Structure 1
């Protein structure tokens, strides 16, 4: 018996790359060399953990996982939507200042570089349409309606996913970290419903077979060892989450205070044909999980979820924002190794039980 295990995405960047990005005085060719070396080292170290699926660690995602497609766009301003974290700091999205909305880059470029160094399948994370929809100003834009903006946004998102699938991505993971945050911002559920509907418009453009290679990730945020929506009850998110037309779901679980309650919620709301990868390591916890702890978390999950719909993952990325140095690369890879080894230990026990 094999239980699939996959990472979420980001790995802390090498200190020299972080310093170069912060200084802003590194030329294009020199910076590209730092990016390439960071990707090469990340892919090699990822492979050394035994992970059957890897990512590029989001080394080249231009400052963060959220706004990489529009970084550097000339028609944006930096004073957009605010994301408050529990530690007290705030991240801001760019605001669309004038038409049209267009991606500046697609994630398949990141995938291509990782595949140059990889000897195992590579998955690719992309940002959700609902996250980028927050760029449109509440007061609107002259001559560019919200409906036209959303049409352009969905077209760009579809293009990005298709490019990643065509490039041979093992999976394309849509990051929906704003799902739980939506409930915090609007407890009525209206904002979350609008996010689910918008993302389903995108997912509905793909065939059933394609959607088996597409997944959705949800977590309460992770930046500088701090979440943005940990206080939101999963009961207010999961029933809507599993209405998404995706084949795979990556659900943060290791950092939850009552994992059994969340597993019961997942069981109640997951649908046939959906595989749920539950988080068994907590990136914002500095303690490194042992394989035995991961094993026990997997066995616990197997008590509540069908084995043919179960997978394991990390709760979230280890450094979704490039200046986040709260976790070291060594710690990240140690946690990943524990996830891989612990999942294998659990699979062996479960196989023995079924024989």
Structure 2
């Protein structure tokens, strides 16, 4: 992973707004409703969207870029298309999840999760990896968009075993851990292929934080901490043969507009999270519920090999952050961790699901532009 050795570099979490027509085509694919002409047109539409998305990231000053996850219905549920053992399921509006903080305020889920539409099938058989062709197409599209001499560092997203288990229930394996580690072993092939192809791997693992108020609401804090440790173990198992400096892990609390009062505190999970073998850690640090948590690092010894990628842009707010505020947030982390180990990012993806947008696409790009502007200001302060 690149480090900020001469200036503050910038990145984001991965998912970016799909063009409207493409998002509708992907949703139609999810519903098995694509006509023959659309089936034929979809691959070219995805490739074109990746090209535009990569170019727009670079134009807005992003240094470590993704393909925007243009081909995926969702950052986690896409995995059902690349794994065996799952039966068909309908596409429920709102994702079909019970989310504790939204449940506390009846009626809020309907508005907060509007547009979140993705099938969540059940595991009914042995899980194996079958997505080689789909992954190869994603990598080919991304490489073509980057060109022969890219000036930016590319990363590709992949779902963690735990977040797949969060969305896709199990009826086959005898225990939750059997299922979790079967997913880890299957997804290991995707993780390895991404890094073998020369890309940085980002494992999206909101189960390490969001899991507290979705999958494990029945447990007390200590119980959740024990489960989070098992989820960390599953990730470490899956990446055991990959250079840890080629991997970053993103944890979050859910990129939806809600009260988030049930979110677990960073101080209660950070010791567990730091047991991750990967060197990069992407975390929320800009929104109203978590912007104070930079203080966790005041009294914490972070292993020297870790690169912290704090969210300095709130991806679920329509405010476009002022560059001075962005710079303040960056400098705050740099003063605690060292400027070389801070790679500012966004709190979450701007389009975690193809048809689910927390903010208007134009605002997403404006926010990334503000991120780059803030990084320039922070560079002036940190390299006087």
TM-score (norm 1): 0.86
Contact 1:77 1:97 in 2 (8 A): no
Contact 1:278 1:315 in 2 (8 A): yes
Q: Decide which of 300, 303, 308 is 1:271's aligned counterpart.
A: 303
- 1:88 and 2:104 matched: no
Bigger Cα displacement from structure 2, 237-246 vs 66-75: 66-75
**Matching residue of 2:44:** 33
**Pairing 1:257-296 to 2, within 5 Å after superposition:** 257=289, 259-260=291-292, 262-267=293-298, 268=300, 270-296=302-328
Contact 1:277 1:312 in 2 (8 A): yes
Contact 1:181 1:229 in 2 (8 A): no
Q: Decide which of 199, 203, 209 is 2:236's aligned counterpart.
A: 203
Describe the shift of the 1:97–1:157 C-alpha distance in structure 2 as closer, same or farther (beyond 3 A): closer
- 1:113 and 2:145 matched: no
Contact 2:252 2:283 in 1 (8 A): yes
User: What's the CA shift string for 1:178-204, capped at 9, x where partnerless?
Assistant: 222232323333244323323324324
For 2:42 and 2:122, the matched residues in 1 are separated by 27
CA drift of 1:282 comes to 0.7
Describe the shift of the 1:32–1:175 C-alpha distance in structure 2 as closer, same or farther (beyond 3 A): same
Describe the shift of the 1:148–1:281 C-alpha distance in structure 2 as closer, same or farther (beyond 3 A): closer
Describe the shift of the 1:104–1:329 C-alpha distance in structure 2 as closer, same or farther (beyond 3 A): farther
Contact 2:330 2:375 in 1 (8 A): yes
- 1:190 and 2:223 matched: yes
Q: Decide which of 9, 13, 16 is 1:11's aligned counterpart.
A: 16
Contact 2:158 2:202 in 1 (8 A): yes
**Matching residue of 1:338:** 370
3-state DSSP of counterpart to 1:327: coil
For 1:208 and 1:159, the matched residues in 2 are separated by 11
CA drift of 1:57 comes to 0.7
**Matching residue of 1:67:** 77
Contact 1:214 1:246 in 2 (8 A): yes
Contact 1:43 1:56 in 2 (8 A): yes
User: What's the CA shift string for 1:116-174, capped at 9, x where partnerless?
Assistant: 11133210111111112346756x43xx53465444322222111110001110x2111
For 2:16 and 2:78, the matched residues in 1 are separated by 16
Q: Decide which of 35, 57, 60 is 1:46's aligned counterpart.
A: 57
For 1:46 and 1:74, the matched residues in 2 are separated by 37
Gapped regions of structure 2 (runs ≥ 5): 1-5, 103-107
CA drift of 1:10 comes to 0.7
- 1:216 and 2:249 matched: yes
Give the aligned length.
345
**Matching residue of 1:100:** 126
